[in-house]
């Protein structure tokens, strides 16, 4: 009828944008193409920010970082099959790190895909994604788009956060729906990450264990930073006087300079603690699986964790506290009596002596007058500039570039450090940097090994296109791990070799940013100060000694022990 043809129409593309907006999502990171280009256009027309990347993996990493920093799921938009797969690496990585994110991908016509008729970008994306993400959903009918987005938002944020895949076939995206029906179909998720407190029994059990401690240690993981639990955790630590150790992305939850930090006596604190209070950290490979000899065989563990299946995954947990960190640490801080723990003062003294000795050794390494620079002397210069700009968000990846920067660069505020995380993945760098700048408006400093930088280096163009205040320092030793691999078999370059005289600074210049080539700490300091003063995109090619660094950094022991001697 006439009235039906004149009724205002919506479609899957408009509806997915409306559903995101209704759930408080204001930014989409992606790479457009068939069939999702108009999703980005409509998002912009609706007042959302759309940040277009050069590779889907970087867009996905950006969405993951947005989720970690902001609490709402970051959203990544990808095209079918290959673009989807590129982005999926980031969604899987977000899931492993427990960051809330949603990958929305267009997909090809199911009628063709499912009969394997050789369609354009043919792939069963739902089945491919499912084993790698927290949950995967496909929306077949346009009237279910709102439901699909709501399920994705709640699943990404509730319980243990993670990556969610939302599959939107091109047929759903293009399908028409009456505008009033479309509006009614949008769901705004209420209380997507509900508070979860523990019972009195569980609380009393934990108090008993903690108050029996003589050598207690609080381990703070990135879950605390993500949960924005810094206030209750600070209260717990300061009211009880327990020493604490931050995991790398939890640096700054309490300032690294805090008198109770035992980061500079890490191994000793871990080995000698008799009671460990784990907050938003897993006993995975990064903590030696909680096993001896790193940890005392008979140490007793208290663990605050939102995911019940995590408990006892590596060693027995004497007092499990299953709930959300803000609520449960708040309960714990109130339940523990001041003076209720009798901490061995001799132990605290030995920890601080040990930390002071390590700090003195590090100070000497940072100040060493060596030419060319090495990781320590270059990062010594970075450290001084960073101290004058404490709001900066630091992104950090590489092998040695990660190990050295994590130890050398102190953090004073929460959620200011983004790095390789649970998988030890390379390639997060510039994606994380873009999201950090977009989500917070703060200056961003990316400290990258020259190898790590290569995985996302073309996103320098993205950074320049959006004029983001991101300074990337490439610690350039000309190789993976180092630039002087003695195993090379000419005429082939060594497997670890990269171009020895690469000028990464010129990449910034190619796209209208500022490039700096530096060979001394003084030049590096000047370049960083100039970059801060300009507040625009910059790449610093920081030449360091090709012999600086060790194979696989601090985790060389994870390489297989060769049975046959190398030929």
What's the CA gap between 111 and 446, in Å, rounded? 45
With CB under 5 A as the contact rule, which of the stretches 80-88, 125-133, 353-361, 446-454 interacts with Mg ion? 446-454
* Dist. CA 90–CA 86, nearest whole Å: 8
Q: Which is nearer to ligand ADP, 105 or 226 (CB)?
A: 226
Residues 445, 438, 418, 246: is their CA dihedral positive or negative?
positive
Q: Is residue 403 involved in binding Mg ion (CB under 5 A)?
A: no
Q: Give the one entry of ligand ADP, Mg ion, none that residue 344 binds, where binding means its C-beta sits below a cut-off of 5 to 8 angstroms depending on kind.
A: none
Q: Which does 222 bind (CB under 5 to 8 A by kind): ligand ADP, Mg ion, none?
A: ligand ADP
449 lines the binding site for Mg ion (CB under 5 A): yes
Decide: is 144 part of the binding site for Mg ion (CB under 5 A).
no
Interacting partner of 422 out of Mg ion, ligand ADP, none (Cβ under 5 to 8 A depending on kind): ligand ADP
Q: Nearest to ligand ADP by Cβ — which residue?
A: 223
β-pair type (216-220, 176-178): unpaired
Q: Which is nearer to ligand ADP, 427 or 537 (CB)?
A: 427
Residue pair 10/185 in contact by the 8 Å Cβ criterion:
no
Q: Which of 155, 158, 185, 226 binds ligand ADP (CB under 6 A)?
A: 226
Is residue 106 within 8 Å of 169, Cβ to Cβ? yes
449 binds, among Mg ion, ligand ADP, none (CB under 5 to 8 A by kind): Mg ion
> Smallest distance, Å, CB 493 to Mg ion?
14
Give the residue with the Cβ less far from ligand ADP, 249 or 445: 249
Q: Give the number of other CB atoms < 10 A from CB of residue 96.
A: 17
| Per CB under 6 A, 277 contacts ligand ADP | no
**By CB under 6 A, is residue 414 in contact with ligand ADP?**
no
227 binds ligand ADP (CB under 6 A): yes
Q: Residue 477: name its binding partner from ligand ADP, Mg ion, none (Cβ under 5 to 8 Å by kind).
A: Mg ion
> What's the closest the beta carbon of residue 253 comes to ligand ADP, in angstroms?
10
Binding part of the chain for Mg ion, among 74-82, 285-293, 441-449, 463-471 by CB under 5 A, reads 441-449
Q: Which residue among 448, 450, 459, 505 contacts Mg ion (CB under 5 A)?
A: 450
Q: Is 415 in the site for ligand ADP (CB under 6 A)?
A: no
DSSP-based three-state secondary structure for 512: coil
Binding partner of residue 247 among ligand ADP, Mg ion, none, CB cut-off 5 to 8 Å per kind: ligand ADP
The residue (of 31 and 405) whose beta carbon lies closer to ligand ADP is 405
Stretch that binds Mg ion, among 115-123, 172-180, 460-468, 469-477 (CB under 5 A): 469-477
| Residue 538 contacts which entry, Mg ion, ligand ADP, none (Cβ below 5-8 A, type-dependent) | none
Task: Please state the closest distance from residue 227 (CB atom) to ligand ADP, in A.
Answer: 3
Q: Which of residues 292-351 bind ligand ADP (CB under 6 A)?
A: 305-307, 310, 324-325
Starting at the earlier edge strand, list the strands of the sheet with 300-305.
244-246, 216-220, 275-279, 300-305, 319-322
Query: Applying CB under 6 A, which of residues 282, 300, 406, 417 lies at the interface with ligand ADP?
Result: 282
Least distance from C-beta 432 to ligand ADP, angstroms? 15
Cβ closest to ligand ADP, residue 81 vs residue 281: 281
User: What string of DSSP letters covers 145-193?
Assistant: HHHHHHHHHHHHHSSS--EEEEEEEHHHHH-EEEHHHHHHH--PPSSSS
Return d(Cα 103, Cα 93) in angstroms, integer: 12
Residue 167 interface partner, choices ligand ADP, Mg ion, none, CB cut-off 5-8 Å depending on type: none
- What distance in Å separates the CA atoms of residue 297 and residue 134, rounded to the nearest whole number? 33
Q: For helices 400-408 and 345-367, what crossing angle results, to 10°?
A: 120
Specify the stretch interacting with ligand ADP by CB under 6 A; choose among 263-271, 280-288, 498-506, 550-558.
280-288
For residues 161 and 100, give the distance between their C-alpha atoms in angstroms, rounded to a whole number.
5
Residue 105, preceding bond cis, omega within 30 degrees?
no
Binding of ligand ADP by 230 (CB under 6 A): no
Q: Return left, alpha or beta for 288; rule: phi > 0 is left, psi -120 to 50 is alpha, else beta.
A: left
Q: How far is CA 325 from CA 199, 233, 269, 301, 319, in A?
A: 14, 9, 23, 16, 15
Residue 411 or 498: which CB sits closer to Mg ion? 498
Give the binding-site size for Mg ion (rule: CB under 5 A). Answer: 4
Sheet holding 49-52, edge to edge: 49-52, 27-30, 74-78, 101-107, 163-169, 135-138
For 314-359, give the secondary structure using H, E and C.
Answer: CCCCCEEEECCHHHHHHHHHHHCCCCCCCCCHHHHHHHHHHHHHHH
Determine if 221 is a binding residue for ligand ADP (CB under 6 A).
yes
CA–CA distance, 418 with 396 (Å, rounded to integer): 6
Which tokens belong to 314? 């590596």
The two structure tokens encoding residue 362: 């590090």
Q: What DSSP string runs through 59-110?
A: HHHHHHHHHHHHSSPEEEEE-STHHHHHHHHHHHHHHHHT--EEEEEEE--H
Site for ligand ADP in 80-139 (CB under 6 A): 97-98
Q: Residue 176, class by beta-carbon neighbours within 10 Å (0-12 exposed, 13-18 middle, 19+ buried)? A: exposed
**Which residues sit at the interface with Mg ion, rule CB under 5 A?**
449-451, 477
**Which residues sit at the interface with ligand ADP, rule CB under 6 A?**
97-98, 160-161, 221-223, 226-227, 247, 249-250, 280-282, 284, 286, 305-307, 310, 324-325, 422
């Amino acid at each position: 009828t006439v009235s039906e043809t004149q009724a205002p129409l919506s479609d899957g593309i408009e509806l997915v944008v409306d559903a995101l907006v209704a759930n408080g999502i204001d930014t989409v990171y992606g790479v457009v193409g068939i069939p999702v280009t108009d999703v980005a256009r409509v998002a912009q027309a609706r007042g959302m920010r759309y940040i277009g990347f050069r590779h889907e993996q970087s867009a996905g990493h950006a969405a993951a970082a947005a989720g970690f920093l902001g609490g709402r799921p970051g959203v990544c938009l990808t095209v079918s099959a290959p673009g989807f797969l590129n982005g999926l690496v980031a969604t899987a990585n977000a899931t492993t790190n427990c960051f809330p994110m949603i990958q929305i991908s267009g997909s090809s016509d199911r009628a063709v895909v499912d009969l394997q008729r050789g369609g354009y970008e043919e792939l069963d994306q739902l089945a491919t994604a499912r084993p790698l993400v927290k949950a995967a959903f496909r929306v077949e009918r346009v009237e279910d788009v709102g439901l699909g987005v709501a399920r994705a938002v709640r699943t990404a944020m509730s319980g243990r956060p993670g990556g969610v895949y939302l599959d939107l076939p091109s047929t759903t995206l293009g399908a028409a729906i009456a505008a009033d029906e479309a509006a009614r179909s949008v769901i705004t998720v209420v209380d997507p990450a509900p508070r979860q407190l523990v019972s009195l029994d569980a609380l009393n059990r934990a108090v008993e264990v903690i108050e029996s401690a003589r050598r207690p240690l609080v381990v703070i993981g990135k879950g605390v930073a993500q949960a924005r639990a810094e206030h209750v955790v600070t209260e717990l630590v300061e009211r009880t006087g327990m020493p604490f150790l931050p995991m790398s992305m939890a640096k700054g939850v309490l300032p690294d300079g805090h008198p109770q930090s035992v980061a500079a006596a890490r191994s000793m604190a871990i080995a000698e603690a008799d009671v460990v209070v784990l907050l938003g950290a897993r006993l995975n490979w990064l903590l030696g699986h909680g096993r001896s000899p790193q940890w005392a065989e008979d140490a007793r563990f208290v663990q605050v964790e939102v995911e019940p299946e995590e408990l006892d995954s590596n060693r027995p947990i004497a007092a499990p506290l299953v709930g959300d960190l803000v609520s449960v640490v708040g309960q714990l801080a109130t339940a523990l009596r001041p003076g209720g723990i009798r901490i061995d003062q001799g132990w605290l003294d030995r920890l601080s002596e040990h930390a002071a000795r390590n700090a003195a050794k590090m100070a000497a390494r940072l100040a060493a007058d060596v030419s060319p620079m090495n990781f320590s002397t270059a990062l010594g210069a970075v450290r001084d500039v960073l101290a004058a700009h404490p709001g900066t968000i630091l992104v950090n990846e590489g092998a040695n570039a990660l190990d050295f920067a994590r130890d050398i660069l102190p953090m004073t505020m929460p959620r200011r450090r983004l790095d390789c995380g649970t998988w030890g993945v390379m390639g997060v760098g510039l994606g994380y940097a873009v999201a950090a700048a977009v989500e917070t408006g703060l200056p961003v400093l990316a400290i990258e090994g020259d190898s790590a930088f290569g995985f996302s280096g073309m996103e320098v163009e993205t950074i320049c296109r959006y004029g983001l205040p991101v300074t990337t320092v490439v610690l350039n030793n000309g190789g993976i791990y180092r630039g002087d691999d003695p195993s090379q078999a000419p005429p082939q370059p060594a497997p670890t070799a990269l171009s020895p005289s690469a000028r990464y600074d010129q990449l910034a210049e190619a796209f209208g940013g500022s490039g700096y080539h530096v060979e001394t700490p003084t030049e590096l300091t000047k370049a960083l100060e100039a970059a801060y003063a300009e507040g625009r995109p910059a790449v610093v090619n920081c030449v360091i000694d090709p012999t600086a660094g060790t194979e696989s950094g601090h985790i060389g022991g994870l390489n297989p022990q060769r049975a046959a001697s190398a030929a």
